[in-house]
A and B are shown apart, each in its own frame.
Chain A
Amino acid sequence: MLLIKCPFCGPRPEIEFAYGGQAHIERPKDPMSLDDEAWAEYLYIRNNTRGVHSERWRHINGCARFFNVRRDTISDEILVTYKVGEAPDAVPEKDRPTKGGAVR
């Protein structure tokens, strides 16, 4: 089970969270202008990254808020969690998980 650091509540076990899929997929600004190709890309096509993956999680059994996580999909190590709208690289070193996926 992952130990996930909610940016609002702190480290909590995975069962408090719901996975929200690939992060940073932008909702179409003008849906009427999209062709089928663009809709398929938005709805169905995913990076499915083997390596560092940006993804959304929701602290559904806690504060219920969405946030973002960067996780290595080979080791499942969580590299950083950050709020929506925040740049992941701006998260200070002390607030990042330690090696091995544990959270300080």
Chain B
Amino acid sequence: MKRFSAISVVREALRGNSAWPRQWRSPEPKPRYDVVIVGGGGHGLATAFYLADRYGVRNVAVLEKGWIGGGNTGRNTTIIRSNYLFDESARMYEHALKLWEGLSRQLNYNVMYSARGVLMLAHNIHDVQSFKRHVHANRLNGIDNEWLSPQECKEYCPPLNVGGEMRYPILGGALQRRGGTARHDAVAWGYARAADALGVDIIENCEVTGIRRAVSGGVEGLETTRGFIRAGKVGVVAAGNTSVVMNMAGVRLPLESFPLQALVSEPVKPAFPCVVMSNTIHAYISQSDKGEMVIGAGTDAYTSYSQRGALHIANHTLDAICELAPMFRRLRMLRNWGGVVDVTPDRSPIVAKTSVPGLYLNCGWGTGGFKATPGSGDLFAFTIAKDEAHPINAPFTIERFREGVMIDEAAAAAVAH
């Protein structure tokens, strides 16, 4: 791996940028790996990187049916925050946020993590009470989150319409200043490049079609479109397609897959300083470094693998955006797309061992797992390497749905988050 530095960037620029090597190899699959990761999204690639970097497991492959980052990692609106209500979630997302803060340096790749602040707006009494409860709970957990009055919201984010005529007026907001955004593709590419440098094989265009189990019941290897690959352990990180992959091992899950959409506007000059979220009226907005307004919409009502959502869902979000920030009323939308998100009944993820020996599962991140990418990768790598959960992910089991020990962020947020 050729390291990026001020000197190397200048030197290559003078040479016409013709001598940069490939960022990661494109190897043929080996017959056997110690660990095979199914799914080359951010979470899968991060898992492979931490396996090799922190836990000493270097004979690792990541199998991706398309191209890396082509799933939800490359389709999301990149909101990063850790101000979740419950202790378990707070620990989980804060672990990730701490890793985000040093990630570009660690990977020697600019993931463009930008702590510009995430402002969550309250529009009714219930929101106000619930967000203040979040603020207090977060503080007890040592996580920054503060309550802003409508006027303070306006000062923090001038385009907001406070005090004007609005169906759902802004009654205040919860601000996490360390929250922000990162460049989604760079996260996938940065982890891929760093993992590859440690010997991890990243195998694209390789779809897993079967999970072969030994007579003992344990995992033996994977049937793929590029042949059978033997594996000591298998970690499934397939987001919206998790039910399909786990079905191959006969494991049924508390998951449903829904389309979730995003859209971007034409690029404009810097106009929007932070991330604004409104769960109540379904609007999520920030501005990319290219200048596009990046807008997240809601999920469709029905389960689907189609990777596109209905127009009325996007429309609904644009209505809300135009009320929140009237100056965007004449902004034109450039593109929209959808991803397939895997949702659990309590809206918290599963990062755990399964009933099948040697088979590990990382899923259920639903509409909000990009922010967790580094932490999820680290904890999942720990779980696979040591065959036991790390204390942070120990509560995020499959069994919690049988035991009734939910981590009910669904009830805490009332909607997708």
Residues in A lying within 8 Å of B, measured CB to CB: 1-2, 14-15, 17-19, 21, 36-37, 39-41, 43-50, 53, 55, 71, 73-76
Contact B255 A48 (CB under 8 A): yes
A-B contact pairs, 26 of them (CB 8 A): A1-B310, A1-B311, A2-B310, A14-B312, A15-B312, A18-B301, A36-B402, A40-B401, A43-B345, A43-B401, A44-B254, A44-B345, A46-B243, A46-B253, A46-B254, A46-B256, A47-B252, A48-B243, A48-B244, A48-B256, A50-B241, A55-B302, A71-B302, A74-B305, A76-B304, A76-B306
Partner of B253, one of A43, A45, A71: A45
B303 at the interface (CB under 8 A from A): yes
A22–chain B nearest beta-carbon distance, Å: 8
Interface residues of B in 249-263 (CB under 8 A from A): 252-257
A55 to B257, CA, bound (A): 14
9 nearest A-B pairs in the assembled complex, by CB-CB distance: A48-B243, A44-B254, A19-B301, A40-B402, A44-B401, A19-B302, A1-B310, A36-B402, A50-B244
Interface residues of B in 288-304 (CB under 8 A from A): 301-304
Contact B401 A48 (CB under 8 A): no
Q: How many B residues touch A, CB cutoff 8 Å?
A: 23
B252 contacts across to A, CB distance below 8 A:
41, 45, 47
Contact B310 A75 (CB under 8 A): no
A31 to B12, CA, bound (A): 70
A44 to B301, CA, bound (A): 17
Given A37-B402, A46-B253, 10 more A-B residue pairs with CB atoms under 8 Å apart are A14-B301, A17-B301, A21-B256, A43-B345, A48-B244, A48-B256, A50-B243, A50-B305, A53-B303, A75-B306
A55 to B243, CA, bound (A): 17
**Smallest CB gap from A51: residue in B:** B305
A49 contacts across to B, CB distance below 8 A:
303
B303 contacts across to A, CB distance below 8 A:
48-49, 53, 55, 73
Partner of A48, one of B253, B301, B310: B253
**Smallest CB gap from A53: residue in B:** B303
B305 contacts across to A, CB distance below 8 A:
50, 73-74
